[in-house]
Chain A
Amino acid sequence: MDRRTTIKWVLAASAAWSFPAAHGAHAAIPARGYGTDPKLQKAYRRGELWPLTLSAPQRRLAGILADLIIPADAYSPSASAVGVVDFIDEWISAPYPLHLQDRTIVLDGFTWLDAEAARRFGKGFSDLEESGRVGVCDAICNESRAVPEHRGAARFFALYRDLTAGGFYSTPVGRKDLNYIGNVPLARFDGPPPALLKSLGLL
């Protein structure tokens, strides 16, 4: 990476967290949402209602970060494997006030990650080794423990973790990961097994 790009990222990142009010929307977002009477019974594809807006490098970073938060393990695949990047792209491209606010936080966060990676390792976040990525994330994964200059980045990380989790656990894979067994019609509802209640001292 050339030094000029590094400096640009660092400046952009410091502007992002120092002067959030001065930092507006990063790209044009359509004015219209799905309206007050959308069809509820059809299954929607991400990007069908409003265009997805992340660039290819941003989507790459989005997937890497989502998989740092929810990697594949013995029980379930990683976040990016179940469409979380599309979920987040749809979220931050949505035309509603909360989503526009989250858009700014996420895009500024991406910029900050690249700048921090450049500052520490001389390359963009996506090009770091796993250990480098973890080093950057460890500094911002807990807002109350983050040093003051990392607080803004920590708020970004918290939001991004929430979005990643929301995108992951709202899929069939996520529901299975949590052993959710509802949403099926039952002839009767018997409540929790008595043995379980007994073991908890509730019977």
Chain B
Amino acid sequence: MPFVSARTQKSSYDVIVVGSGAAGGQSAYTLSMDGAKVLMLEAGRKYDPALETPMFQTPDMAPLGGAGTPEKPFGFYDATVDGGWQVPGEPYVRASEEDAGRFEWWRARMLGGRTNHWGRISLRNGPYDFKPYSRDGLGFDWPISYEDLAPYYDKVELLIGVYGTSEGLENTPDSSPGCLLPPPKPLVSDHLVAQRAKRLGIPVIPGHRAVLTRPLDSARVPARLHPGNVTAQKILAEDMRSRSACIWATPCGRGCSIRANYQSTTVHLPPALVTGNLDVRTDAMVYEVTLGPEGRASGVSFVDRTTGKHQHVTARAVILAASACESVRILLNSKSAQFPNGLANSSGRVGRYLMDTVGSSLGGQIPLLESLPPLNEDAAGGHQLYVPWWLYQDQHAGKLGFARGYHIEFGGGKGMPGDGTGAKMEWLTGGSYGAKFKQDVRRYYGSFVYFDGRGEMIPNDQSFCEIDPSVKDKWGIPVLRFHWEWSEHERRQAAHMQKTFADIIGAMGGRTDAAPQADGARAIAPGGSIIHEVGGAMMGASPATSVTNQWCQTWDVENLFVTDGAVFASNADKNPTLTIMALAWRAADHMLERMRRKDL
């Protein structure tokens, strides 16, 4: 009975995992495949992508043509359940409502969390990204190097299935042979971006996304991931055979009922449940890690959201994987005589150095792409190609005026028409309506491209979260209050993105759909809006200045671990999910070894 209730749940486990997304899924997978008895607690409801995903539904079947609303911010068919920038009954507080100081907190209250809807972009941090302070004196170094995490990047790529290539570029790591699936073919617009960007000296290479462009190698991968563990190999091989490869249709953000892309619910949880070692309890809103004798975590307390009842469950070890800010919230709300400022917070750094990704966007219209013949460009759902950060030499020579870099995600093509098709074209059509408008829409459909910059934010003292002294959620749990500030580095980076995008659009013979924004403060998206929030329980080399060690183990409480983005010491331009999973796997391996030695 893997999905448990108050009645069927055991009274104690080896490990409690709080959260079921990328970090919780990976933690539970690694532990249960190796025999540990795990209880996963998820605040949201049970969710089954095989039954619930709207795969081929079209916009005419949805209210408002599927357009986003505050209740479904990424569109009606987005996989997110009970989530968004605001969750009913679960407020948070912003210290500032000004754009520059605003932080938006995205949450998804559902099994699998935000892995159900994410972009699936899976980039590795490079060697520089783990030692940023050593390189430019800003921020913090990680207590690990790229070499420490590289084997786990390999493992995660092999398990979840990531397409891409190894290009041998600076700080853009190669994967070990056999780890990556072949990338999808580029679209017409991709070819044009690549050709013209290269003329500007900007490299364009295949993207990396967690989508199966062919079936996983179930004959070889299981033995590589679980050497010596025949049971795990067998379970994984069977599970891999039951995942379908991409059928080149339907947006990944809806989720995937045939399990052709990575979601915790389609990749991590199914084999973990087959082991019989994993129990999952949904609608379990954890609010406190309890402290037992000898300063060890004894378990967690949670509210059953369906009954409102409070419950406590015990375990030998606790993993917080509730998402960076939610894990911070649980730590700060876990107060005791020994930890009056929150659990594992003797450094005072719980909640500090919150980071997001620097984001800025610009679109354009390209005459060369007008009136092309019919093409099926659904492809693998986007990100066939991307631009890795390329200006290391200029930056080293002091020519850029900001530290750290960004990568560029871009797209175009003849996607499914919808509620935005034909909109906001007055600048191209001169305001046509009638027969001419219909012709104009046909002419311009498929001729638009967009560019999204995704850049590194340097942690700063002004960006953090803490417990609000008065506001509580509907369960009576104190909520977070966010403080946010960008530095000149991020603002200048955002302005640089705008200029780069305009240059590329110009080189494509196109026009930008808005004037490129030279003022970085206006070019940059608000904090949290890229949904790459990390930090708040930073890992480090010293208990005085960090919350966890390199194993995601809190310095203060030896059987308490944080395996989500909270432990990030920096936030490279690379999207954080792959690194979260690699860190979680590495931490779980360490826990298993210590449990075998009986010292955990």
Contacts and interface: CB of A to CB of B under 8 A. Distances in A.
Interface stretch (B301-309, B369-377, B464-472, B582-590): B369-377
Contact of B64 (A37, A73, A91, A97): A91
Interface in B424-438: 424, 426, 430-435, 437-438
A99 B372 CA distance: 34
A94 B72 contact: no
B248 A185 contact: yes
User: What is the size category of the interface that chain B forms with chain A?
Assistant: 35 or more
Given A157-B433, A182-B249, 13 more contacts: A33-B71, A38-B76, A90-B63, A96-B71, A161-B433, A162-B424, A165-B421, A166-B420, A167-B419, A178-B414, A183-B416, A185-B249, A202-B192
User: What is the size category of the interface that chain A forms with chain B?
Assistant: 35 or more
A186 B417 contact: no
Contacts of B76: 34, 38, 40
B184 A189 contact: yes
Interface of A: 33-38, 40-44, 49, 68-71, 73, 75-76, 83, 87, 90-91, 94, 96-99, 134, 137, 141-145, 157-158, 161-162, 165-172, 174-175, 177-192, 196-197, 200-203
Contact of B63 (A49, A76, A184): A49
B426 A158 contact: yes
Contacts of B276: none
A187 B185 CA distance: 14
Contacts of B430: 142, 145
B45 interface: yes
A141 B436 CA distance: 13
Given A137-B433, A196-B372, A178 B442 contact: yes
Contacts of A184: 249, 376
B567 interface: no
B422 A162 contact: yes
B69 A186 contact: no
A170 B419 contact: yes
B433 A68 contact: yes
For A33, A161, A184, which residue has the most chain B Cβ atoms within 10 angstroms? A161
A99 B69 CA distance: 9
Nearest to B250: A183
B65 A186 contact: no
Contacts of A179: 373-374
A44 B438 contact: no
B373 A196 contact: yes
Contact of A169 (B77, B84, B376, B422): B422
Contact of A141 (B375, B419, B431, B441): B431
